[in-house]
């Protein structure tokens, strides 16, 4: 199974048309069709449903698409890393990010790093805990920024001096908006919109203990889409502060839960896979930034 053929397969899946994919790949349509057919025979499963003018992935094709995407991505990253070793001037850094205002610390480090290495490129992958750690474990990310308590035995970890505050995002006209803070009892029997992972990883224990009394009406991966549901009056989103605009024109307000419930941030990376030179330089820059912020905090 050649990487070239995997690229052919991915392009055919993306274009959903063999002729258009062949044109993009600069090969003939019969050549592309033959390569895909050989791949299907090698795997022992059909990868595409075929019609006169289009193709679509079979269920086996959907699975293989994810595998091929990961393999080709790993190959491309490896090539880029070795090319960067020839007189280091920059490189590519892939970071998986949970939704958190604390990402501004990553942004500060990135800005400092690009002042020294203008060729440095950052790829940010936004997703929940499950998705970013899956990509980290597959070697598709250098780092993951997480806000969950987790078993870190498989990872190197750098605590970050920032904590996200839990609360409810709600319509500005909601009755609860009149309160400055909420308690756990306020959440009971409300129509709640929660992270898709629900009560597995992200939910803080004081809220998780009330699981049976909470009314979940919707789940989300990223809070922006959930905020649109909140604005339409579907429910109240359980989330962190500062992730969605709550200015006077937004129609939304955030109210923190008291006693305060927070989630600390961590930067993690794999113990099993060595960091690229670019990732090592970024980590050093980030550690220096945190040290300087901590020093400034003590001075003040």
| pTM of the model as a whole | 0.68
On the question of pLDDT at 30 being above 70, the answer is yes
- What is the tens place of the pLDDT at every residue in 235-248? 999 999 999 999 99
On the question of pLDDT at 262 being above 80, the answer is yes
Report pLDDT for 74: 84
- Flag the least confident range among 35-39, 227-231, 251-255, 276-280: 276-280
Non-local CB neighbours of 10 within 8 Å, separated by 6+ positions:
65, 68, 69, 72
Report pLDDT for 229: 96
| Domains contained in the chain, CATH given | 3-82 (1.10.10.10), 89-161+264-299 (3.40.190.10), 164-262 (3.40.190.10)
Mean pLDDT, to the nearest integer, of 256-282? 90
Write down the number of H helices and E strands in the chain: 10, 11
Q: Which of 165, 169, 164 lies closest to 238 in space, CA to CA?
A: 169
Mean pLDDT, to the nearest integer, of 208-232? 89
- What is the tens place of the pLDDT at every residue in 51-66? 888 899 999 999 999 8
DSSP state of 182: B
């Amino acid at each position: 199974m050649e990487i070239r053929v995997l690229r052919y397969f991915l392009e055919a899946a993306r274009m959903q048309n063999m002729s258009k994919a062949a044109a993009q790949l600069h090969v003939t349509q019969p050549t592309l069709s033959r390569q895909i057919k050989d791949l299907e025979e090698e795997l022992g499963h059909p990868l595409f449903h075929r019609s006169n003018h289009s193709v679509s992935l079979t269920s086996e094709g959907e699975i293989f698409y994810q595998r091929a995407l990961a393999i080709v991505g790993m190959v491309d990253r490896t090539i880029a890393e070795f090319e960067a070793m020839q007189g280091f001037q920059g490189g590519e850094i892939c970071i998986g990010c949970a939704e958190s205002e604390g990402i501004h610390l990553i942004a500060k480090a990135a800005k400092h790093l690009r002042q020294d290495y203008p060729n440095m490129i950052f790829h940010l992958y936004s997703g929940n805990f499950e998705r970013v750690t899956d990509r980290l474990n597959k070697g598709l990310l250098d780092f993951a920024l997480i806000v969950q308590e987790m078993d870190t035995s498989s990872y190197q970890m750098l605590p970050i001096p920032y904590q996200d505050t839990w609360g409810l995002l709600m319509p500005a006209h909601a009755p609860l908006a009149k309160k400055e803070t909420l308690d756990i009892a306020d959440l009971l029997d409300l129509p709640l919109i929660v992270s898709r992972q629900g009560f597995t990883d992200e939910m803080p224990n004081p809220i998780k203990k009330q699981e049976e009394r909470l009314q979940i009406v919707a789940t989300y991966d990223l809070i922006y889409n959930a905020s649109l549901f909140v604005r339409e009056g579907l429910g109240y989103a359980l989330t962190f502060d500062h992730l969605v605009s709550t200015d006077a024109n937004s129609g939304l307000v955030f109210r923190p839960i008291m006693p305060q419930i927070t989630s600390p941030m961590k930067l993690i990376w794999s113990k099993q896979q060595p960091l690229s030179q670019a990732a090592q330089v970024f980590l050093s820059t980030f550690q220096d930034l945190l040290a300087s912020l901590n020093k400034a905090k003590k001075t003040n």
